[in-house]
Amino acid sequence: MSSPLPAAATGLRSAAAPSSPEPPRATSGVTSAVTPGATSGATPGATPAPTPRDGDERAPRGPVPGDALLRGATAAEYARVTKGVVDDIAARVAAVTQPFAGVGRAELGERTDAVDLDGPGIGTTEALRETAALYADNAVWFHHPAYAAHLNCPVALPAVAAEAMLAAINTSVDTYDQSGAATLMERRLVDWTAARIGFPVGRDERGEAAGADGVFTSGGTQSNLQAMFLARQRALEDLRGTERAVAQSRLRVLATSASHFSVAKSALLLGLSEDAVIAVGVDDEGRMDPDALGRALTDVVRAGDIAMAVVATGGTTDRGCIDPIRAIADLADATGAWLHVDAAYGCGLLVSPTRRGKLAGIERARSVTVDYHKSFFQPVSSSALIVREAADMARGSWHADYLNPATEDHEPGGEPNPDPNQVDKSLQTTRRFDALKLWVTLRALGADGVGQLVDAMCDLAQAVHADLAGDPELKLVAPTDLSTVLFRYEPDGLAPERADALVPQVRRVLFDSGRALVAKTVVDGRPCLKLTLLNPDMTLGDVRAVLDLVRSAAHGLLAGEELVTPDVPPCRDTHPRLVRDGVRPDAPPAAGPGAGPAAGRNEGSA
């Protein structure tokens, strides 16, 4: 348990077959899978420039990538190049031995800056090879069983394949005449999600949403911004000029301090006053206290202000705690405030076979944020804002003659535009068909299949909590409803301030080594380490291996190995190891953690 970092690292299960100790070199997949010069298109040197036609001012001069664009004539080249990328990534995923290579930022920065972005093209094959050596070699791998830092999930295979489909076709789901079936498929998924939430779902004779509505977004941040935008539009409905400006300055948003920062940022973006967001009190476990909300709402009304929105969080980013939505809904309804439930993290519970009840009351929200790229195993980006009443969605609609006129004949009062144009509902205009990934995933795995994966990650978190109860060194900080683990290295006798200082140091040591990635945060004013377990393939053994690395790093730091000294920058670019200069501690701290003169030596560096 107290072995130095490199030895403890052997406890990690590798994603690769144990018999393949060597990770593939950066270039292997691309170069082996792609036959250079197989067609004329990829390499400028080998490509005859298109013959300029007489009088064609735009005819290219000099060597150009002749067949650079995806079209009928380059379809075979597209298949060859893309297959090369897929083969390369497949080889890498199979062989990854740690979540991060541990290369220093200075070196990465130099290599990034050294690429000549103004120079002549080097051809697709070479560009992909060079790029894989920079990007893929130094990527952070979310599927690795020692990645447990942020809210990133390993991605569902059918979704990654769907990503290739939508990227090549490049649909934009802003208007129906740019998307066809894609728009209708996105709408089906909005309905599907709304039904899972428990919103009424229906369509009118024109096929428009009659019950719930919604739209895919780039992420929870955008979903929350749009929810606050719609809530503000409602609160200021029919107000103009000074009256509107005065009312806007009185709008208040009630949320807890554990709500996602995008709520407060949205208030800023929407021009609310600087004290618009009121931090509602929480219970011991960090969930919104309905009594505190009741008092806060009373205060808002007494002050002559307007409770624009109450934001409940369906799984806080740090603790994974779910606010008591039903009780909050009662209070929001009583004051007429817009209830937004931010379920960016907890939305996976919508398909959980055993834990759906934790989101009870979510159907009483006026709007809900769901992040499929957090707990539906979707590639970034995939998120949605779902509203209970379609009319709310229209509060943000905007019409442009050239794109989505309100009426077919452009005349006020004319026949409504018959086309289903998603841009009417979105903050974005040109927009990816991210919904396709979720569509294929649901068809491939079934919603229950996704739900089982969600349960697996929650089960694992529970097992880790049980495992750590009574641990002599690692102390659990807070419980969770979802899949986070908050803890500190704090054996008996270690000064709390020393334990505070260890938190960022341990995280950085692990990151620099690349062997395990954990996060850090602050809970109740004290720093702590954080695991976010979103990988259903991870086992308790995998998590124990990560925790062993945490202990090893802490032991090393307490034994006096300097993590940061004034002359060594925090991101070391040479030797990303806890132990510099090849010297390893032979033994754990002699007199126990926190004891002895070594214990305080890193104090200044946190």
Ligand X SMILES: *Cc1c(COP(=O)(O)O)cnc(C)c1O
The residue ranges that bind ligand X (CB under 6 A) are 151, 219-221, 224, 260, 262, 313, 317, 342, 344-345, 371, 383
Shortest Cβ distance from residue 248 to ligand X (Å)?
Answer: 24
CB 68 within 8 A of CB 166: no
Give the SS3 label for residue 509: helix
Q: Which amino acid is at 429?
A: T
Shortest Cβ distance from residue 87 to ligand X (Å)?
Answer: 30
253 pairs with which residues across the strands? 277, 309
> Could you tell me how many helices (H) and strands (E) the chain has, helices first?
17, 12
CB 132 within 8 A of CB 26: yes
Beta strand segments in 501-585, E? 517-523, 526-532
Nearer to ligand X by C-beta: 92 or 260?
260
Strand 517-523 relative to strand 484-489, pairing: unpaired
Which candidate, 384, 375, 372, 389, places its Cα nearest to that of 199?
389
Shortest Cβ distance from residue 319 to ligand X (Å)?
Answer: 11
Nearer to ligand X by C-beta: 88 or 371?
371
Nearer to ligand X by C-beta: 315 or 594?
315
Which candidate, 386, 328, 337, places its Cα nearest to that of 361?
328
Shortest Cβ distance from residue 349 to ligand X (Å)?
Answer: 13
CB 342 within 8 A of CB 224: yes
Shortest Cβ distance from residue 541 to ligand X (Å)?
Answer: 27
CB 14 within 8 A of CB 541: no
Shortest Cβ distance from residue 224 to ligand X (Å)?
Answer: 6
Shortest Cβ distance from residue 469 to ligand X (Å)?
Answer: 26
Nearer to ligand X by C-beta: 433 or 489?
433
Shortest Cβ distance from residue 435 to ligand X (Å)?
Answer: 15
Nearer to ligand X by C-beta: 81 or 215?
215
Nearer to ligand X by C-beta: 77 or 371?
371
Shortest Cβ distance from residue 289 to ligand X (Å)?
Answer: 18
Nearer to ligand X by C-beta: 198 or 315?
315
Q: Helices 124-134 & 75-95, crossing angle to 10 degrees?
A: 20
Measure the CA–CA gap between 235 and 223, rounded to whole angstroms.
Answer: 18
Q: Residue 191: CB partners within 8 Å, gap ≥ 6?
A: 201, 209, 212
Alpha helices in 135-258 (DSSP H): 157-169, 181-197, 220-235, 241-249
Nearer to ligand X by C-beta: 343 or 436?
343
Measure the CA–CA gap between 23 and 275, rounded to whole angstroms.
Answer: 53
- The secondary structure element, H or E, covering residue 148 is strand 147-148
Which candidate, 25, 36, 60, places its Cα nearest to that of 122?
36
Q: Which two tokens stand for residue 212?
A: 């719930």
Nearer to ligand X by C-beta: 338 or 345?
345
Residue whose C-beta lies closest to ligand X: 220
